[in-house]
Chain A
Amino acid sequence: MSTQQSIFVDAIDLRGALAALHERGSDLTVLAGGTDVMVQYLRGDVLPRGLLHIRRLPELKERKFGRRTVIGALTTHWQLVTDQDVLIRHPALAEAAATVGGRQTQNAGTIAGNLVNASPAADLLPVMLVSDGVVTLTSSAGSRDLPVSDFVLGRRSTARKPDELVTSISFERLAESAGEVYLKIGRRHAMEVAIVGLAARLAFDADGNVTDAGIAIASVAPKAFRAQLAEKRLVGTKLDDESMREAGELVRQSVHPIDDARATADYRRRLLPALLRDAVTICRRRAFNRGEATGHAN
């Protein structure tokens, strides 16, 4: 903490949290599970003048499974991994949450934390993008909704205003005739920051034609994004080799990866077409075998 007197607010309910943000939102760093914020703070990457502790807020811990799924901001990764309703309606979200760090990280880290931290490699983000994710932001003045793709602006940057809190994220559930998956490429078999993360959600008709396609990729650009040209290329096809090959090429051309300490740009580009092929194949298999259990596709 900086040498000046730091502010602490240990909020016990949403009203209290919003009041604190209203009064001094620009001085406060929101702290939920802390698995990103604390690491950055200890490294000296952030120097918060104050902390708003929101871990207790009961209003942010609910999950509703109506027409749309509404997940409270403080839902932890482990809760996503183990919630039966999430596993049925959003298997890729559970799958992605299971790859975030180890059990310790998953116990503490939250869905909103992953989103708001806005790492280019954030695992949950591509899944949110193919699930029509919408963020609900609340301030003492009221609430507003923002599609996830508009909420994340770039690396470590979001549209959250200093007096706002992400209170929930809603999603469209996986349709009957659809399958989804999250694939993550890393070096080791766990505890990896994605070298590439790819989420796919495909819907099919009874003849096996793709009626809808969502493909989102992380870690190849400052923020995760949907590969819209590739999506369009696949709709109306039966995922024949030619279509998949061309879609793979479109994905490869759409990315702007960098060399970093984890992998080269070249590597990221090279493996995308095969990764896409694997993803859409799994989506089809899962769409037609809805009883199939998801595993870690890591």
Chain B
Amino acid sequence: MTSLIGADVARTDAESKVRGEAVYGVDYGSLGMLHAKLLRSPIPAGSITKLDVTAARGLPGVRAVVTGSDAPVARGGAVVRDQPLFATSVVRYEGEPIAGVIAETEQIAKRALGAIVLEIDPLLPVGDVEAALAPGARLVHPDWKDYECSLEYPRAGNIACEVTSDSDLRALARIVAQADVVVESEYRAQRQYQAYIEPKSAVARWEDGRYVVHTASQFPFNVRDQVAQFLGVRVSDVRVIGHHIGGGFGAKLDASLEIYAALFARHVGRPVKIVNERSEDLLSCGCRENAIVRLRTSLASDGRILAREADVLMDNGAYSGEVPLMASLPMHVFGQVYRTGLARVNCRLMYTNTAPTGAFRGVSGTYLYFALERHMDECAVRLGLDRRAFRLQNLLQDGDCTLVGQVLDDAGVLAEAFDRVEQVAPWSELMRRPSTPGKRHGVGIAAATWLTNPGPGTVTLKLNEDGTLGLVSGATDNGSGAVTMGVTQIAAEEFGLRPEDVIIQMPDTDAAGYDAGSQGSRTTHIVGRATRTAAAEVREKIFAVGSRLLEVDPADLNIAEGAVHVKGAPTRSVPLSKIAIAAMSTSGPIVGTGSYATPLPSYNPACANGLLFPVFPTPTYHVHLAEVEVDEATGRVTVLRYIVAQEVGKAINPTGVRGQIQGGVAQGIGYALYEGLEIADSRYRQRTLETYRLPLAVDVPDVEILLLEHGDPAGPHGARGVAEPPIVPVAAAIGNAVSDALGKAVNQIPIRPDEILALLSGDDPIRLR
């Protein structure tokens, strides 16, 4: 039987999905279920002067109306406890929950929302990061000092988190003053909405003194923890059961509706289901934050980078969640691809009266790399150097250190990735390509270093009496195939089984050990490795039983094709089913466990203040190239060609890997060209999928994929994290390509046709709102 590692095996849940049988979070229901809807603030900031739910409570079919006074805990939050479940005295963003109606049907609940009397005295909203910083700005959280933190970090007033590098400012000033060339630019990015096709939902019930929550979550254990925190119970008083996820991309890592469903279920003593409509999902989602990045690079005329300074303003939104960790990212991004010389980084994450921002594949990396790579192009152009050559000159090499003091042993892969792209798309040829009449042709290149999230996972394997393998873990497959391909193939390979003989059920926080969720491309790497550890234990037990049955030394046995064989005498074998049954009456049922968390690479903790996210474990390296055509009449951009060179360690399933790269690039194209959450007066201008445009099949080219497979010794079969980073350099590559096409700097995400037309006609650039 050929190896499953590196095989294009179909994912084990594909059949149920094409039949329409897979049960997603929104499909799940419970007997006797009631339905809830949330009353959400219609304005971004104000004091609640009246909230009267009496009329709503009295409507036929309404079981209960719940408000802030029913919330067990005043405030919760992952990093700082700044967020109430319901707004009580003030509202801080449009869409903030104020009350919940639980009724017999969704229709009744929705109608009852209209019967709630709500009066809010508007306050002038703190609309954006610059307004939040302005002297005398109103505080979004006047009581910020009283908020509990699990660990302290720099925050004050509207600054939700601040990270400042420890830099020699005098030396820096000297370098800047003496440098041959200093390039300074500003880059802006709007929010991006994850827009998973399955809206968020949750079903909960109160049973035997515990909350039981059903949800399509990427991170059931996190949902468990957040439900427990907000409802004031122990984590073991909450059980979370996962279901198929209709897309998450980071937005379904945090608890959202689950907490409300749980609270409501206990309140009414019946199971409660709550589902977001698309418009409210968009409004309340933790989107990728909008940001302003200012970079200043000091250069020698021969192309050496002497110093690099970065000042970043990120929009936290009204409540923090885990976004304070994002404030650390500039310290990583600005020093882990190119040498920087002396560096200074400051990042401020600002409270504003907008929806709390959150995690979306690539997090802040997508705009930080945009800024970095646009800046590299601008530096090269200013120096009169070739943009690619300038990059190669300054690339990190094996053993170089990042700004946080992390050593990148294999940073030389970056140069290799550039080479691989060069082989299929010679740069000098692309530079010579002429434009067709009425169009402008442009090419852009971008590189990135990304991580594999190190969070812990654990797997228990059990050998079933029929010779199949049960795999118990809290891991989730958010669609990436990490579980239904990666982990499955790794497990099956250990015992010579077919993938369909590895039985994996939906995560259950009661039954499975802790898993850090489908984020940061960790699952195949971490859970795959834990699987191999568990498999080693199971194999040992199998060999112990097998050695008795076959009367040989355990060392003389191997496992292949679902059976134990004597080495060198393959006809002497016992199927695994017999082993399992034999074990019952001797050593007991055969199980094995394995746990893993990536040991963190060392770094310099004194490198900066406020560094909540200290290192980039199991790094991967990426080079993207984009070739575009800009229409001079309409300003529209067509991506003609897109190439990705990506270090994956080992492609456990090439079709799956391809799907992640193609999909990530498509999301990046959406980010760069089509999507854009404009905020005006603290409100989103785009409210539904009609105006928030996701890329369609006619908008996305086929990506050319070049895989580099330098195995990570710590990874299962050498696998590194694959799925998150393909989105990270896309806006950078496209931004560079469009700027090249126009001969003008395009420094805002999304790149808009009206901005392009303005640049083409020589007007001032249009400042994004």
A residues in contact with B690, CB < 8 Å:
193
Interface-side segment among B187-195, B695-703, B728-736: B695-703
A270-B754 in contact (CB<8A):
yes
The answer to the question of B693 belonging to the interface, with a C-beta cut-off of 8 Å to chain A, is yes
Contact of A274 among B111, B634, B674 (CB under 8 A): B634
The answer to the question of B691 belonging to the interface, with a C-beta cut-off of 8 Å to chain A, is yes
Q: How many residue-residue contacts, CB under 8 A, span A and B?
A: 53
The answer to the question of B686 belonging to the interface, with a C-beta cut-off of 8 Å to chain A, is yes
A residues in contact with B2, CB < 8 Å:
none
Bound form: Cα–Cα A161–B632 in Å: 45
What size tier do the contact residues of chain A reach? Answer: 20 to 34
B761-A188 in contact (CB<8A):
no
A187-B696 in contact (CB<8A):
no
B754-A191 in contact (CB<8A):
no
Contact of B699 among A188, A261, A264, A274 (CB under 8 A): A188
- Most chain B CB inside 10 Å of its own CB: which residue of A262, A266, A270, A274: A270
The answer to the question of A263 belonging to the interface, with a C-beta cut-off of 8 Å to chain B, is yes
Interface secondary structure of B, over-half rule = loop
Q: A188-B693, A270-B754 are in contact. Are A278 and B635 (CB under 8 A)?
A: no
B674-A188 in contact (CB<8A):
yes
Q: A270-B761, A271-B634, A274-B633 are in contact. Are A263 and B699 (CB under 8 A)?
A: no
The answer to the question of B685 belonging to the interface, with a C-beta cut-off of 8 Å to chain A, is yes
A residues in contact with B695, CB < 8 Å:
188
B754-A278 in contact (CB<8A):
no
Contact of A267 among B635, B673, B685 (CB under 8 A): B635
The answer to the question of A190 belonging to the interface, with a C-beta cut-off of 8 Å to chain B, is yes
The answer to the question of B753 belonging to the interface, with a C-beta cut-off of 8 Å to chain A, is yes
Q: A187-B674, A274-B634 are in contact. Are A267 and B753 (CB under 8 A)?
A: yes
List residues 749-769 of chain B with CB under 8 A from any CB of chain A.
753-754, 757-758, 761, 766
The answer to the question of A156 belonging to the interface, with a C-beta cut-off of 8 Å to chain B, is no
Bound form: Cα–Cα A46–B374 in Å: 47
Bound form: Cα–Cα A187–B634 in Å: 10
Would you give the 0/1 interface string for B633-648, flagging 1 where the beta carbon is closer than 8 Å to chain A?
A: 1111000000000000
The answer to the question of A189 belonging to the interface, with a C-beta cut-off of 8 Å to chain B, is yes
A residues in contact with B111, CB < 8 Å:
3
Bound form: Cα–Cα A276–B155 in Å: 55
Q: A188-B674, A261-B686 are in contact. Are A270 and B757 (CB under 8 A)?
A: yes
List residues 712-764 of chain B with CB under 8 A from any CB of chain A.
753-754, 757-758, 761
Q: A187-B636, A274-B634 are in contact. List 18 more A-B contacts (CB 8 A).
A: A3-B111, A185-B634, A188-B674, A188-B693, A188-B695, A188-B698, A190-B696, A191-B693, A192-B693, A261-B678, A261-B687, A261-B691, A264-B754, A266-B758, A267-B753, A271-B634, A271-B635, A275-B633
- Most chain B CB inside 10 Å of its own CB: which residue of A3, A188, A191, A192: A188
B residues in contact with A187, CB < 8 Å:
636, 673-674, 693, 753
B residues in contact with A191, CB < 8 Å:
693, 696
Bound form: Cα–Cα A163–B306 in Å: 78
B754-A267 in contact (CB<8A):
yes
List residues 227-283 of chain A with CB under 8 A from any CB of chain B.
261-264, 266-267, 270-271, 274-275, 278
Bound form: Cα–Cα A191–B634 in Å: 17
Contact of B698 among A189, A266, A270 (CB under 8 A): A189
B residues in contact with A267, CB < 8 Å:
635, 753-754, 757
Q: A261-B685, A266-B754, A270-B761 are in contact. Are A190 and B698 (CB under 8 A)?
A: yes
B residues in contact with A185, CB < 8 Å:
634
B753-A188 in contact (CB<8A):
no
**Minimal beta-carbon separation of B439 from chain A (angstroms):** 12
Bound form: Cα–Cα A188–B753 in Å: 11
A residues in contact with B699, CB < 8 Å:
188-190
Interface secondary structure of A, over-half rule = loop
Q: List 26 contacting pairs A-B, 8 Å CB cutoff, sorted by A.
A: A3-B111, A187-B636, A187-B673, A187-B674, A187-B753, A188-B693, A188-B696, A188-B699, A189-B698, A192-B693, A193-B690, A261-B686, A261-B687, A264-B754, A264-B766, A266-B754, A266-B758, A267-B635, A267-B757, A270-B757, A271-B634, A274-B632, A274-B633, A274-B634, A275-B634, A278-B633
B residues in contact with A190, CB < 8 Å:
696, 698-699
**Minimal beta-carbon separation of B275 from chain A (angstroms):** 15
A residues in contact with B691, CB < 8 Å:
261-262
**Interface size (B, Cβ < 8 Å)?**
25
In this complex, what residue of B is CB-closest to A298? Answer: B698
A residues in contact with B758, CB < 8 Å:
266, 270
Bound form: Cα–Cα A192–B693 in Å: 9
**Minimal beta-carbon separation of B681 from chain A (angstroms):** 14
A residues in contact with B766, CB < 8 Å:
264
**Minimal beta-carbon separation of A37 from chain B (angstroms):** 15
Bound form: Cα–Cα A263–B750 in Å: 13
B residues in contact with A192, CB < 8 Å:
693
Bound form: Cα–Cα A191–B696 in Å: 9
Bound form: Cα–Cα A203–B112 in Å: 60
Would you give the 0/1 interface string for A86-102, flagging 1 where the beta carbon is closer than 8 Å to chain B?
A: 00000000000000000
In this complex, what residue of A is CB-closest to B114? Answer: A44
Bound form: Cα–Cα A271–B766 in Å: 16
Bound form: Cα–Cα A201–B687 in Å: 36
In this complex, what residue of A is CB-closest to B676? Answer: A187
Bound form: Cα–Cα A39–B561 in Å: 56
- Most chain A CB inside 10 Å of its own CB: which residue of B673, B686, B754: B754
Bound form: Cα–Cα A96–B754 in Å: 24
Bound form: Cα–Cα A275–B693 in Å: 23
A residues in contact with B678, CB < 8 Å:
261
Bound form: Cα–Cα A275–B634 in Å: 8
B residues in contact with A193, CB < 8 Å:
690
Bound form: Cα–Cα A275–B757 in Å: 13
In this complex, what residue of A is CB-closest to B695? Answer: A188
Bound form: Cα–Cα A185–B753 in Å: 11
**Minimal beta-carbon separation of B12 from chain A (angstroms):** 31
A residues in contact with B632, CB < 8 Å:
274
Q: A261-B685, A271-B635 are in contact. Are A189 and B696 (CB under 8 A)?
A: yes
A residues in contact with B753, CB < 8 Å:
187, 263, 267
**Minimal beta-carbon separation of B764 from chain A (angstroms):** 12
List residues 188-234 of chain A with CB under 8 A from any CB of chain B.
188-193
Would you give the 0/1 interface string for B662-687, flagging 1 where the beta carbon is closer than 8 Å to chain A?
A: 00000000000110001000000111
In this complex, what residue of B is CB-closest to A271? Answer: B634
Bound form: Cα–Cα A188–B670 in Å: 10
Bound form: Cα–Cα A262–B761 in Å: 21
- Most chain B CB inside 10 Å of its own CB: which residue of A187, A262, A270: A187
**Minimal beta-carbon separation of A119 from chain B (angstroms):** 12
* 5 nearest CB pairs, A to B: A274-B633, A267-B754, A189-B698, A261-B691, A261-B685
- Most chain B CB inside 10 Å of its own CB: which residue of A185, A190, A261: A261
Bound form: Cα–Cα A192–B634 in Å: 15
A residues in contact with B686, CB < 8 Å:
261
- Most chain B CB inside 10 Å of its own CB: which residue of A185, A189, A262: A189
In this complex, what residue of A is CB-closest to B675? Answer: A187
Bound form: Cα–Cα A258–B473 in Å: 55
Bound form: Cα–Cα A264–B632 in Å: 17
In this complex, what residue of A is CB-closest to B688? Answer: A43
Bound form: Cα–Cα A261–B635 in Å: 17
- Most chain B CB inside 10 Å of its own CB: which residue of A3, A192, A262, A271: A271
Bound form: Cα–Cα A67–B636 in Å: 41
List residues 608-638 of chain B with CB under 8 A from any CB of chain A.
632-636
- Most chain A CB inside 10 Å of its own CB: which residue of B634, B635, B695, B757: B634
A271-B633 in contact (CB<8A):
yes
**Minimal beta-carbon separation of B671 from chain A (angstroms):** 13
Bound form: Cα–Cα A3–B766 in Å: 48
Bound form: Cα–Cα A267–B690 in Å: 20
Bound form: Cα–Cα A262–B687 in Å: 12
**Minimal beta-carbon separation of A20 from chain B (angstroms):** 26
Bound form: Cα–Cα A275–B636 in Å: 13
Bound form: Cα–Cα A278–B438 in Å: 11
In this complex, what residue of A is CB-closest to B687? Answer: A261
